[in-house]
Amino acid sequence: MKVSFHGHAIVKVETKGKTILFDPFITGNELTDLKVEDVKPDVIILTHGHNDHVGDTVELAKKHDALVIGIAEIADYLGAQGVRTHGMSIGGAFEFEFGKVKLTPAFHGTGFTTEDGQIIYLGMPAGVLLTAEGKTIYHAGDTAVYSDMKLIGKRHPIDLAFLPIGDNYTMGPEDAALAAEFLKAKQVVPIHYNTFPVIKQDPNKFIDLLEEENGLVMKVGDEIEL
């Protein structure tokens, strides 16, 4: 399994011959190395409905007939636009051909803002547990730290966790370090920082705060193999 980071909250997973994209915010994302015309996902997983996470989902899904997985309201909304979807809810899991997906709680918002300024409610935000090839990846989405993260770590041994550290909209480095302690992941990677001035952070500060020496700053385009 190959896992790569592409700026903001974009994570790409290649497993069992499938390419899975988390939160493909490409257009308008100055930090990403991806180009919409070059990306060919088989599956798109959305943590929540904010514009900087839904991103280019509709265009990519229609072009490549990609399956979009997310909370039920997101699936309904995108399905009405001709996208192939699979809706889920918090705490639910489903076994797909590429692996198992389970949605966890996240404390955040999730409104999608249309071009004319209308805000559309797209259900609860979520974190995502992806298990494939005997490994489990946790993408926390946008969230505050919360004590039930201990249960996630206890219930699901995590090999690699992606945690937001930007502050303002999500937990900052200090709270993310506490989240890492709760989750007990083998390796922790900071995401969702420096995309906008209000979430500017030094990822190495987060690494220094970790009690375990399990932090890894992935530069945009970096890839690791699990």
Contact status, residue 90 vs residue 126, Cβ threshold 8 Å? yes
Q: List phi, psi (to 5°) of 33.
A: -100, 0
Query: Cα dihedral sign for 28, 29, 33, 35?
Result: negative
**pLDDT recorded at residue 120:** 94
Widest CA span in the chain: 47
| pTM, rounded to two decimals | 0.97
pLDDT at 200 over 90: yes
pLDDT tens digits, one per residue of 154-178:
999 999 999 999 999 999 999 999 9
**pLDDT recorded at residue 34:** 98
Is 3.40.50.850 the CATH number for 2-214?
Answer: no
- Identity of the residue numbered 53: H
| CA-only gyration radius of the chain, Å | 16
pLDDT tens digits, one per residue of 189-199:
999 999 999 99
Tell me the DSSP string of 115-137.
TTS-EE-----EEEEEEETTEEE
Average pLDDT over residues 41-65: 98
Query: Cα dihedral sign for 120, 52, 205, 5?
Result: positive
pLDDT at 212 over 90: no
**pLDDT recorded at residue 123:** 95
pLDDT band at 181 (very low <50, low <70, confident <90, very high): very high
**Percentage of residues in the chain with pLDDT exceeding 70?**
100
- Identity of the residue numbered 109: G
Strand order in the sheet with 99-105: 93-96, 99-105, 126-132, 135-139, 160-164, 187-191
Alpha carbons 110 and 23: distance in angstroms, whole number: 13
pLDDT tens digits, one per residue of 86-114:
999 999 999 999 999 999 999 999 999 99
β-pairing, 112-113 vs 119-120, is: antiparallel
pLDDT at 36 over 90: yes
**pLDDT recorded at residue 38:** 97
Contact status, residue 130 vs residue 96, Cβ threshold 8 Å? no
